[in-house]
């Protein structure tokens, strides 16, 4: 039997509610499909841990996480801890140190859900964004002079390397060539950012010559955001820098009907390090502890994790169960217009997974992620990242 060791970091707020539900759904798929076993190891890291210890995670946290096959994350952030501390104390060190350079976010209107876009349906909102995830505008390079003075100067430096830009674009090209539409759109702003984005555009054109079967285009990020709203059906795969990808995918979450739907995969495609899978809705302090959070994003992130581990049938089963419950429309959380609790939605999806596992000969694979095959000698110590 195949075994996969999973590091679970529920984190803060509603992360502590949706991750346990996600684990139960994954266990249902494991039971229904068979042939593999998920072994969970839970870590209490996050803002509550920071307020007790002064650290978002243990000093040796990265060296402990490096041995796992994947990381399953809930949400990080809390009003009493500044965002730059929570982000730079946990999420970004994991992404950068483990070289999770490709952030993949599906943007798809699931069956039974309504988008705020008038007249648009499920077939018209089905794209995926590949976001550069370890450098760019979030590289963490900058400085401040003369703090607090009228003549204070602040520098925030975006870092773009040929290696970093080329590898994330190549990942996006490979994804686009596997999808039926075979279209790839590059988000840029080279009219204003005459160094970083001009360079970005040059690398994109160079790689496009290697993929003649993929239709390519370049779009300024502001125009692309407008197009996601007015003509989402014209978009298939989008590749963007760290900042542009972040903004566009949050817009994509809104197009899906709720940020409680949006899932994310932080990928190290070569398998040298574990990849990390998370919902992108945040810790939602206003509803934390009330059993009202939507677990769909966390469950979808779990399906992406299964797909990356090579358990494609189980991943497809999770999505089939999730879509069945949403399409029926009887069990939903408040953000989707329902009255059900987090636990009730999770239980419904568990039941659907167990039921569908007995009747579906082979669910349709999602096809977002090529299975990540860890290198035979995985790094035994956390690296320095990019």
Question: At residue 382, does pLDDT exceed 70?
Answer: no
> What is the average pLDDT score of the chain?
93
CB 22 within 8 A of CB 72: yes
**Mutual angle of helices 296-308 and 312-328, in 10-degree steps:** 160
Q: For 270-309, what is the HEC assignment?
A: CCCCCEEEEECCCCCCCCCCCCCCCCHHHHHHHHHHHHHC
Tokens representing residue 381 in the block: 């110590």
Q: Taking residues 11-36, what's their average pLDDT?
A: 96
**Is 362 noted as a catalytic residue in this protein?**
no
Catalytic member of 41, 83, 222, 286: 222
End-to-end CA distance of the chain: 35
Catalytic member of 12, 69, 236, 246: 246
Catalytic member of 49, 50, 101, 189: 189
Question: At residue 197, does pLDDT exceed 80?
Answer: yes
Question: At residue 257, does pLDDT exceed 80?
Answer: yes
Q: pLDDT exceeding 90 applies to what percent of the chain?
A: 88
**Is 313 noted as a catalytic residue in this protein?**
no
Nearest alpha carbon to residue 64 among 93, 37, 87, 24: 93
Catalytic member of 58, 126, 201, 250: 250
Q: Taking residues 372-381, what's their average pLDDT?
A: 62
Please, which contacts does 353-356 make with residues 24 or more away whose CB atoms are closer than 8 Å?
353/25, 353/28, 353/29, 353/32, 353/317, 353/318, 353/320, 353/321, 354/28, 354/31, 354/32, 356/32, 356/317, 356/320, 356/321, 356/324
Sign (positive or negative) of CA dihedral 329, 265, 233, 318: negative
Catalytic member of 50, 138, 273, 368: 138
**Rounded distance, CA 374 to CA 4, Å?**
11
**Rounded distance, CA 385 to CA 66, Å?**
12
CB 114 within 8 A of CB 49: no
**pLDDT score at 188:** 97
Out of 117-121, 146-150, 201-205, least confident range:
117-121
β-bridge partners, 43: 9
Domains and CATH numbers, the chain: 1-109+257-380 (3.40.718.10), 114-255 (3.40.718.10)
Order of strands, sheet of 215-220, starting from the edge strand that comes earlier in the sequence: 36-43, 2-11, 70-75, 275-279, 263-267, 102-108, 126-132, 237-240, 183-188, 215-220
Question: At residue 361, does pLDDT exceed 80?
Answer: no
Q: Taking residues 53-66, what's their average pLDDT?
A: 96
**Is 12 noted as a catalytic residue in this protein?**
no
In our burial notation (b when 16+ CB lie closer than 10 A, e otherwise), range 231-249 reads ebeebbbbbbbbbbbbbbb
**Rounded distance, CA 232 to CA 224, Å?**
10
- pLDDT single digits (tens) 303-326: 999 999 999 999 999 999 999 999
User: What's this model's pTM, rounded to 2 decimal places?
Assistant: 0.93
**Is 335 noted as a catalytic residue in this protein?**
no
**Rounded distance, CA 336 to CA 317, Å?**
22
**Is 250 noted as a catalytic residue in this protein?**
yes
**pLDDT score at 386:** 37
β-bridge partners, 215: 183
């Amino acid at each position: 039997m195949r075994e996969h060791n999973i590091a679970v970091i529920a984190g803060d707020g509603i992360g502590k509610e949706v991750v346990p539900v996600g684990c139960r759904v994954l266990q249902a798929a494991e039971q229904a499909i068979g042939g593999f076993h998920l072994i969970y190891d839970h870590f209490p890291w996050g803002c509550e841990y920071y307020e007790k210890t002064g650290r978002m995670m243990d000093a040796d946290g990265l060296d402990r996480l490096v041995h796992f096959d994947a990381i399953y994350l809930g949400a990080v952030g809390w009003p009493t801890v500044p965002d730059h501390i929570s982000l730079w104390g946990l999420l970004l060190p994991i992404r950068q140190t483990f070289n999770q350079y490709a952030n993949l976010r599906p943007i798809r209107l699931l069956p039974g859900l309504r988008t705020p876009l008038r007249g648009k349906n499920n077939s018209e909102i089905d794209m995926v964004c590949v976001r550069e995830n370890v450098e760019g505008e979030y590289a963490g390079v900058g400085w401040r002079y003369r703090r607090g003075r009228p003549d204070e100067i602040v520098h925030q430096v975006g870092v773009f390397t040929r290696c970093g830009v080329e590898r994330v674009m190549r990942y996006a090209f490979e994804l686009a060539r596997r999808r039926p539409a075979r279209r790839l759109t590059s988000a840029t702003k080279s009219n204003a950012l005459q160094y970083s984005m001009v360079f970005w555009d040059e690398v994109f054109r160079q790689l496009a010559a290697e993929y003649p079967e993929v239709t390519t285009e370049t779009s300024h990020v502001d125009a692309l955001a407008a197009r996601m709203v007015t003509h989402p059906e014209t978009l298939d795969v989008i590749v963007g820098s760290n900042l542009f990808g972040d903004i566009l995918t949050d817009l994509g979450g809104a197009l899906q009907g709720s940020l409680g739907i949006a899932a994310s995969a932080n990928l190290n495609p070569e398998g040298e390090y574990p990849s990390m899978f998370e919902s992108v809705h945040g810790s939602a302090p206003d509803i934390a502890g009330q059993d009202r959070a939507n677990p769909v994003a966390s469950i979808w992130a779990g399906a992406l994790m299964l797909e990356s581990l090579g358990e494609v049938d189980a991943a497809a089963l999770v999505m089939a169960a999730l879509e069945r419950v949403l399409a029926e429309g009887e069990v939903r959380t408040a953000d989707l217009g329902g009255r059900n609790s987090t636990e009730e939605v999770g239980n419904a999806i568990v039941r659907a997974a167990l039921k569908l596992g007995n009747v579906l000969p082979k669910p349709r694979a999602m096809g977002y992620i090529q299975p990540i095959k860890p290198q035979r000698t995985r790094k035994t110590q956390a690296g320095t990242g990019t």
